[in-house]
Structure 1
Amino acid sequence: MEVINIAELEDYISLLKSKSRSESTTQQSKKIIQNYMQRFGSLEVSKKEVYIYYKELEKKLAISTLYSHIKILRHFYHFVSNENPNINNPFARFKPRAPVRKFVRVLYEQEIHSLYVRMLANNRISNYQRFLFDFIYATGMKPSEMQRLVLSDFDFIDGSIVVTGDNGSSRYTFYSKSLEPLILNHLEKRQSMLEQQHLYHSSFFINWENGLMIHGYIIYQAITAIGKELDMKLTPSILRHSFAIASLENGWDNRYIQTLLGHVSILTTQIYEKVEINSKQNTIQKYHPRGKKS
């Protein structure tokens, strides 16, 4: 029986940090794996033992928390078994029921327009922050995906971008003509910064303090800082959801939106249909004569 080496956990945590996971997410993953280690003390755990462990957690945790626990352990084992093929992953085929997402915060087109006007009027919000805002809303990309972008991922003729997802898979997304001048302006400033720092690399997004590749958490913080300035909740996920809703309202097929966002399952994408339906129902009840309450 192979005893877990603490170095394996540290290597895994280093991997999470390299993918720009937030500090809270990284520490949560570490704590969950450490608890698992204390429970079994070995990587060689049978599927039956995993099932018993799952049932124990099921009595203590909410569905969403339980799902998060198992997802983290599955990912950890995937990492370990790739490093050492002799170790079996008991979570490989263990797929607990995902929690139902009851609420997705989105901004509709009119809200986005109003928000942008407010951003332009606020001199504490930088041009770069607005560019990041525009980029996420126009492409639906995650900060971790933006971090991995290199110059060769862009096709400036047809306006397409090759996106590398968190699981290593690749997909195409496209940007509109309105984003093109902002991208070109960014490239000019980027080139100037790299020349000043005597650097040469292909990362598209850079850290303006040192010219090196940017980390996803900096992008995340830049967007949340906009929200704080405007006294509202704003995250990259909200802009990503808003991109999906805007696409759906413009008649795009759910399968196409699934591809653009990199969703593995169409069920994840279908949540946006429910959001749109609920929005229309609320609008009817608010404004339609037969929808108003007497």
Structure 2
Amino acid sequence: MKWTDTLNDFQLYLKIERGLSSNSIANYTFDIQKLIRFLELHDISVTPTSIDHSTIQQFIYEVSKSLNARSQARIISGLRSFFGYLVFEDYISINPLDHIESPKIGRKLPDTLSLDDINNLIAAVELTKEYNGVRIGERDRTILETLYSCGLRVSELINLKLSDLYFDEGFIKVTGKGDKQRFVPIGRSTQKYITIYKDEVRTTIKVKKQFQDTLFLNHQGRQLSRAMIFTIIKKLASKIELNKTISPHTFRHSFATHLLENGADLRAIQLMLGHESITTTEIYMHVDRSHLKEVLLKYHPRK
């Protein structure tokens, strides 16, 4: 059994059986390719079904020299899934990762922006800015408003379709991880900005055939890349001299944190974010506990 063939089969399994996104599959692939390169570098001739616990341990020891605990844990998790797949398919009987422990890592609290930070970032957008005749300033403002008001992942934002807009009902349809769909409420002000962009800016773009239904486009009529959204935000942060490291995901974290701080139900936030488990959403409970006393005083019968 060759590594390349087994890796290809694993990728198909992740896509078809587990319904993972292309980004998640790429991360798993990267971890396994690291192991393959290690074996080649050290001239270790083993197959996916013959590799043993000690070789895996040697690999992890080597990579741990240049990686932090969180990255080490991710690689171990990726390899455990790969060899777990081989067990599932009856290629091997024991997962060589079974007795390898991941390093202990603290739960990373998400970075957030204050409401003033968000307002300043949006205000910094130059609305009259054009590129090849396209008013990209209006587009960029709409992107920031949508990220914050709907709590979207960057991949969900760039894949948003015109046919996903249900403004009469006050919702947008979002396709998340593993192609799972959910409906997220959208406020009137964000609907207004999207409508302005859609009717006054997007109509001036010569849209490529395969992107006719894509909402946010570049000046060439193609879907925006993830990197482009990062660049837009980084430039605005620099412009207002915001001393924080932020990304599109920071808007998602801020969306959840601000809702929680203002008394929103954790279960409702989970549904809007598209988290499979409530424990993922519970991380926001650690960001700001100041509202918890108010909740107790307001709702508990014995105040």
Give the TM-score normalised by structure 1: 0.70
Selected match of 1:203 from 184, 205, 214: 214
Cα distance per residue 1:73-106 (max 9 Å; x no partner): 467779x98xxx7878959999968833243211
Task: Give the superposition deviation at 1:244.
Answer: 0.6
Residue aligned with 1:244, SS: helix
Give the CA deviation at 1:137: 0.5
Task: Decide whether aligned partners of structure 1 residues 36 and 154 sit closer, same or farther in structure 2, where only a CA change above 3 A counts.
Answer: same
User: 2:6–2:48: 8 Å Cα contact kept in structure 1?
Assistant: no
Change beyond 3 A, Cα 1:118–1:148:
closer
Q: Which amino acid aligns with 1:103?
A: L
Partner Cα distance (2:233, 2:186) in 1: 19
Separation of aligned partners in 2, 1:92 and 1:190: 51
Task: For residue 164 of structure 1, report the CA deviation from its aligned partner.
Answer: 1.4
- Cα distance in 1 for partners of 2:69, 2:204 equals 50
1:170 deviates by 1.6
Which whole-Å CA distance do the structure 1 matches of 2:127 and 2:146 have between them?
19
Indicate conservation of the 8 Å contact 2:111/2:246, yes or no: no
Q: Name the counterpart of 1:66.
A: 72
* Alignment of 1:257 onto 2:257: no
**Distance change in 2, residues 1:187/1:120 (3 Å):** closer
- Written as runs of structure 1 = structure 2, the 5 A alignment for 1:75-90 is none
How far apart, in 2, do the equivalents of 1:31 and 1:96 lie?
18
Aligned to 2:251: 239
Most deviating of 100-109 and 111-120: 111-120
One-letter amino acid matched to 2:250: I
Is there any run of 5+ residues in structure 2 with no aligned partner, and where? 16-20, 40-44, 131-135, 294-303
State the one-letter code of the partner of 1:66. Answer: Q
In the alignment, which residue of structure 2 is the partner of 1:127? 138
What's the secondary structure of 2:202's corresponding residue? Answer: helix
Q: Distance in 2 between matches of 1:214 and 1:30?
A: 25
- Aligned counterparts, 1:23-62, within 5 A: 32-37=31-36, 38-39=38-39, 41-44=46-49, 49=52, 53=56, 57=60, 60=64, 62=68
Q: 1:234 to 1:247 in 2, by over 3 A?
A: same
For the residue of structure 1 that corresponds to 2:196, the secondary structure is helix
2:174 matched to which residue of 1? Answer: 163
Paired residue secondary structure (1:194) = coil
Match of 1:190 in 2: 202
* AA partner of residue 229 (structure 1): K
Deviating more after overlay: 87-96 vs 219-228: 87-96
- The equivalent of 2:222 in structure 1 is 212
Q: Distance in 2 between matches of 1:177 and 1:168?
A: 27
Contact 2:263-2:291 within 8 A present in 1 as well: no
| Displacement of 1:122 | 10
What displacement does 1:56 show? 6.4
* Offset, 1:243: 0.5
1:229 matched to 2:246: no
Q: Distance in 2 between matches of 1:245 and 1:102?
A: 14
Q: 1:114-151: CA deviations, max 9, x gaps?
A: 44344469979923222211110011111111222222
Whole-angstrom distance in 1 between the partners of 2:150 and 2:278: 18
After the TM superposition, which residues 168-187 of structure 1 pair with which residues of structure 2 at under 5 Å, given as runs?
A: 168-187=179-198
The verdict on how the C-alpha distance between 1:207 and 1:118 changes in structure 2, with shifts beyond 3 A counting, is: closer
Identity %: 24
What amino acid is the match of 1:112?
A: I
Q: In the TM superposition, what is the alpha-carbon distance from 1:275 to its structure 2 partner?
A: 0.8
Is the 8 Å Cα contact of residues 127 and 141 (structure 2) preserved in structure 1?
Answer: no
Q: Return closer, same or farther for 1:110/1:93 CA change in 2, 3 Å cut-off.
A: farther
- Seen in structure 2, the aligned counterparts of structure 1 residues 53 and 219 have a Cα distance that, compared at 3 Å, is same
**Number of residue-to-residue matches in the alignment:** 266
Q: CA RMSD in A?
A: 4.4
Deviation at 1:220, TM superposition (A): 2.2
Q: Verify the 8 A CA contact 1:163 1:172 in the aligned structure 2.
A: yes
